[in-house]
Amino acid sequence: QVQLVESGGGLVQPGGSLRLSCAASGRIFSIYVMGWYRQVPGKQRELVATMTSGGGTNYADSMKGRFTISRDNAKNTVYLQMNSLKPEDTAVYYCNADLRPCITTVQNICVMGPKGDYWGQGTQVTVSS
């Protein structure tokens, strides 16, 4: 029932910018942490940035200062603003959420399911001349 959908990826020249979006949909009680990870083929998936529902952030050192994560809790959406992009940033970027779903609703009250980790399908970012 819960789905994460990324958008905003594409081809950009070195030094350019992109803004990624990820919207969570479905029956959700609460989203505790949302964030971004990236992966190059044949390499381990790595942290980009995360943000808690209260606004706390965590960035990978190599991206801090260039990337900015933000979150709209009312829309269950997280964003990643990427500036000064480098060819080394080329990867598939995945949205992640730590959340508790509603398995159903009874009289407009959420019947909670177990807390779990959810992933989007990924969006390709390519930085090249």
Q: What is the spatial distance between Cα 99 and Cα 34, in angstroms, rounded to a whole number? A: 9
pLDDT band for position 1 (50/70/90)? confident
Contact 34, 71 (CB under 8 A): yes
Q: What is the spatial distance between Cα 76 and Cα 26, in angstroms, rounded to a whole number? A: 10
Q: Which pLDDT value is given to residue 11? A: 98
Convert the pLDDT of each residue in 75-93 to its tens digit: 999 999 999 999 999 999 9
Our measurement of the distance from residue 84's CA atom to the centroid of its chain's CA atoms, rounded to an integer in Å, reads 19
Convert the pLDDT of each residue in 4-50 to its tens digit: 999 999 999 999 999 999 999 999 999 999 999 999 999 999 999 99
Tokens of 9: 């990826």
Q: Which pLDDT value is given to residue 62? A: 86
